[in-house]
């Protein structure tokens, strides 16, 4: 029997991994499972731990992880780390399935050098994040947050019905979607149902025929920022996109614009955004990801009246757990049958 190690957590449950793997491959494994305490405990970053350079967003002690994996041939995990030094201690390991879109907890180059197949689960939470983004738009544009906060504070904000303070409907707004990957394309499909004017900025892809037929327009970032009532970010983080929202680009946006970041913190220069929100350069922001996570208790963003904040939960849904576990199971099956991976890293 093949030896398979599962390291899950309190989101990606080990038993769900095991269930999907047995369903896809049959009961042919000697499976051992463990779960770390994420998200109840925070992740670590490789730069902060000796010997873990190059890794980020992982959870687990290297010694404990290596001892647990032992002589397993296959590792299925969500957030467990795997550094070069750890791989040298695991000569039996031949395949790693990571149930997340960005496998930044694994040293991919070192795995390649050692002949270890690494696969990931791109798009596992695309639907969850797209739906969450719609909710973020509605929370800001229809003053849901303001109404909620006022009632909590014992105030009845009848003034939110005033024409100069009430919100706008989605169909009358221009929505700018930055990034047209799996989340961006899913979001555009949802937005089309609202009747919004939709602008997309992504220089590396073309709009689908369906989106083109529906009047979705591909534009430059400058045009998108200038014309959009809502700007929502969905690109990957790269040197090109890091701090793409900064003092200069914020100044290009409409004064009544709302910025939404359900993607990654490094896309935004947060000190610049803080100043833009305080000075009313833009109207509001909905922030799901940050430059520092968790946000410090003394962060000025937490006290601003024109910001909605959530603790990086856009991708969290029951379906995401099922889909990610199923994607990992399919990859394990393909490995066993000498088939190429669907999502190689």
Tens of pLDDT along 229-283?
A: 999 999 999 999 999 999 999 999 999 999 999 999 999 999 999 999 999 999 9
pLDDT at 154: 95
- Domains located in the chain, CATH noted: 2-124+317-336 (3.40.50.720), 126-309 (3.40.50.720)
Closest to 146 measured CA to CA, from 136, 160, 132, 162:
160
Indicate if the pLDDT at residue 158 is higher than 80: yes
> How many whole angstroms separate alpha carbon 188 and alpha carbon 175?
9
pLDDT for position 20:
97
Task: Note if 140 is an active site residue.
Answer: no
Task: Say yes or no to pLDDT of 85 above 80.
Answer: yes
Mean pLDDT in residue range 30-55: 90
302-338 pLDDT, tens digit per residue, is 999 999 999 999 999 999 999 999 999 999 999 999 9
> Which DSSP string corresponds to 176-228?
EEE--SHHHHHHHHHHHHHT-EEEEE-TT----HHHHHTT-EE--HHHHHHH-
Task: Indicate whether 1 pLDDT > 90.
Answer: no
Range scoring the smallest mean pLDDT among 43-57, 205-219, 242-256: 43-57
pLDDT value at residue 105: 96
264 catalytically annotated: yes
293 noted as active-site residue = yes
- pLDDT on residue 53: 84
* Per-residue burial over 225-262, b = 16 or more CB atoms within 10 Å of its CB, e = otherwise: bebbbbbbbbbeeeeebeebbbeebbebbbeebbbbbb
Res. 86: pLDDT tops 90: yes
pLDDT single digits (tens) 2-29:
999 999 999 999 999 999 999 999 999 9
Query: CA–CA distance from 178 to each of 34, 131, 201, 259, 262 (Å)?
Result: 38, 16, 5, 11, 11
SS3 258: strand
**pLDDT for res 45:** 84
Question: Can you read off the two tokens belonging to residue 276?
Answer: 């833009």
Give the active site residue among 186, 264, 326, 334: 264
Q: Which is more confident, 44 or 63?
A: 63
Is the pLDDT score of 183 beyond 80?
A: yes
37-49 pLDDT, tens digit per residue, is: 999 998 888 778 8
In this prediction, residues 134-161 reach a mean pLDDT of 94
**Token pair 């939709």: residue:** 198
Q: Is the pTM of this model over 0.75?
A: yes
- Judge contact between 245 and 269, C-beta under 8 A: yes
């Amino acid at each position: 029997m093949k030896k398979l190690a599962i390291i899950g957590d309190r989101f990606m449950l080990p038993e769900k991994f095991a269930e999907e793997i047995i369903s896809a491959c049959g009961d042919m494994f000697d499976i051992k499972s463990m779960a770390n305490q994420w998200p109840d405990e925070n992740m670590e970053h490789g730069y902060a731990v000796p010997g873990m350079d190059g890794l980020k967003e992982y959870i687990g002690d290297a010694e404990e992880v290596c001892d647990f994996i032992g002589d397993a041939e296959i590792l299925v995990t969500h957030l467990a780390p795997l550094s070069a030094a750890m791989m040298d201690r695991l000569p039996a390991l031949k395949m790693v399935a990571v149930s997340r879109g960005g496998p930044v907890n694994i040293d991919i180059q070192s795995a390649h050098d050692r002949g270890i197949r690494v696969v990931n689960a791109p798009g596992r939470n695309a639907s969850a994040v797209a739906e969450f983004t719609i909710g973020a738009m509605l929370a800001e544009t229809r003053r849901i947050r303001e109404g909620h906060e006022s009632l909590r504070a014992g105030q009845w904000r009848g003034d939110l019905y005033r024409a100069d303070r009430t919100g706008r409907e989605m169909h009358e707004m221009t929505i700018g979607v930055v990034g047209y990957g799996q989340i961006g394309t899913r979001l555009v499909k949802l937005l089309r149902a609202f009747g919004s004017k939709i602008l997309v900025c992504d220089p590396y892809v073309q709009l689908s025929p369906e989106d083109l037929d529906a009047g979705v327009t591909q534009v430059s970032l400058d045009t998108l920022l200038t014309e959009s009532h809502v700007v929502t970010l969905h690109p990957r983080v790269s040197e090109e996109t890091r701090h793409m929202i900064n003092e200069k680009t914020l100044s290009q946006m409409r004064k009544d614009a709302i910025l939404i970041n359900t993607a990654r913190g490094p896309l935004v220069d947060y000190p610049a955004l803080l100043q833009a929100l305080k000075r009313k350069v833009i109207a509001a922001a909905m922030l799901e990801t940050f430059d520092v996570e968790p946000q410090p208790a003394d962060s000025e963003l937490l006290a601003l009246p024109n910001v909605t904040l959530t603790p990086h939960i856009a991708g969290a849904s029951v379906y995401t757990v099922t889909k990610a576990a199923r994607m990992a199971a399919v990859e394990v099956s393909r490995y066993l049958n000498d088939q190429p991976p669907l999502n190689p890293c």
